[in-house]
Structure 1
Amino acid sequence: MNALLPRPRATLAPGAVHVPDWLPVAEQRALVDACRRWAVGPVPMRHTRLPRGGVMSVQTVCLGWHWRPYAYTRTADDVNGQRVAALPAWLVEWGRRAVADAYEDPSAAADYTPDTALINFYDAAARMGMHQDKDERSSAPVVSLSIGDACVFRFGNTETRTRPYTDVELCSGDLFVFGGPSRFAYHGVPRVRPGTADPATGLSGGRLNITLRVTGLADGRP
């Protein structure tokens, strides 16, 4: 891929939009620096253990609400019992800007207020199987930001983990938003492309994926 050639935005399905090069390098670097701070706690980045005993290959740290399969809580009872770090207001604003830009409609973000972020780090061997983001009690869009190594992102349908699906390359700075009819589509990451990260972002290897979501939950109502 020639980095000098612009990559066009694309709608993969109704409500699912890929916007290449959305996040400038300076903002990517600021987000990398913030992720490094969040990764050390109060709840540290970890490999999430699945209910049947498996362990996810990606490493995860959460903001606002702590996610574990298949629930959100304010405290990380499966890690160290601590309350997760707050979701900063500036990241909420980035989420609103992302929705408005993806849908090319400022009114689309008028009521969009994400209250959690899941930050996943992929090393060269990490993968993410096809899954739905359905632990939330809200159908508000999911905002996904990529930094570091490129990956193959597989975006499917709402009925099955299998075909039809579309593979798209997500590069550092890319935005992907899925909402509306595509909010509960299956999606995953079958592979990362090592060696494609731009050191100017502050991440010389591996991939960070930051997803902003609306849980639809309130304090005291896990």
Structure 2
Amino acid sequence: MDAELFPRTRSEIASGAVHVPDWLDAREQRGLLDACRDWARPPAGLRTVRTPGGGTMTARQVCLGRHWYPYGYARTVVDGDGAPVKPFPGWFGELGRRAVTDALGADAARGAAYDIALVNFYDGDARMGMHRDSDEESDAPVVSLSLGDSCVFRFGSTATRNRPWTDVELRSGDLFVFGGPSRLAYHGVPRVHAGTAPPELGLAGRLNITLRVSGP
């Protein structure tokens, strides 16, 4: 929005979970979008994720560094075209550490060697159910970056998928980091606000990029 009664400011949603609005400027958003478009091309490109129960996720996904599938990691797209997963670029690791430093402080970023990225694409009808990012062996903070359409990001507790939770509006360029006591908190995306992306970005839909550390 061009003008708001109350400007958006950094907020701690829970212990170790911080929302930083407008963390990526317009140039950084365009550069990241261009990279996502390259990664989405086959082989090992954007795919529909199938769940063990036979259903499909409505958000489509491409992975870097290691390929995520329910519920583990592989070096190839084992549930897709079988191609080797695309490499995780070194500059992404630097971006992740900078994000954690800005959100949680330098101590939280120390030693965090980010090596996995999950890029999820949401159209206006896509959703993400409440889940935990628990397939990594590392407890390093998860870094979440948003591009395109705004969404409702629901952040809950480590104990249950149900209430209590906090709903946060994530817009293009926003950063959300969760680590420490909130590292294994349940979270999801119950709604995407179609048509809210910055027009100059040239993206219809929402891209969410999460950076993670696989561990030993």
> Matches of residues 143-182 of structure 1 in structure 2 within 5 Å?
143-182=143-182
Residue identity in the other structure for 1:58:
A
Report deviation, 1:176.
Answer: 0.1
Contact in 2 for aligned 1:114/1:212 (Cα 8 Å): yes
Report the TM-score, using the length of structure 2 for normalisation: 0.96
Match of 2:115 in 1: 115
Gaps of 5+ in 2: none
Match of 1:25 in 2: 26
Aligned length: 215
Match of 2:130 in 1: 130
- Per-residue Cα deviation, 1:71-94 (whole angstroms, up to 9, x for no partner): 101111211111111111111111
> Matches of residues 171-210 of structure 1 in structure 2 within 5 Å?
171-203=171-203, 205-210=204-209
Contact in 2 for aligned 1:33/1:202 (Cα 8 Å): no
Match of 1:47 in 2: 48
SS of 2:152's partner is: strand
Residue identity in the other structure for 1:40:
R
Report deviation, 1:184.
Answer: 0.3
SS of 1:57's partner is: coil
Is 1:69 the equivalent of 2:70?
yes
CA distance in 2, matches of 1:2, 1:15: 30
Residue identity in the other structure for 1:30:
G
Distance change in 2, residues 1:211/1:195 (3 Å): same
CA distance in 2, matches of 1:64, 1:6: 37
SS of 1:48's partner is: coil
Match of 1:220 in 2: none
CA distance in 1, matches of 2:79, 2:27: 35
Residue identity in the other structure for 2:56:
V
Is 1:95 the equivalent of 2:133?
no
Q: Percent identity between the aligned chains?
A: 63
Distance change in 2, residues 1:73/1:160 (3 Å): same
Residue identity in the other structure for 1:178:
F
Contact in 2 for aligned 1:26/1:201 (Cα 8 Å): no
- Per-residue Cα deviation, 1:172-217 (whole angstroms, up to 9, x for no partner): 00000000000000000000001110122231x1000000001114
Q: Which aligned runs of 4 or more in structure 1 are off by greater than 6 angstroms?
A: none
Contact in 2 for aligned 1:156/1:163 (Cα 8 Å): yes
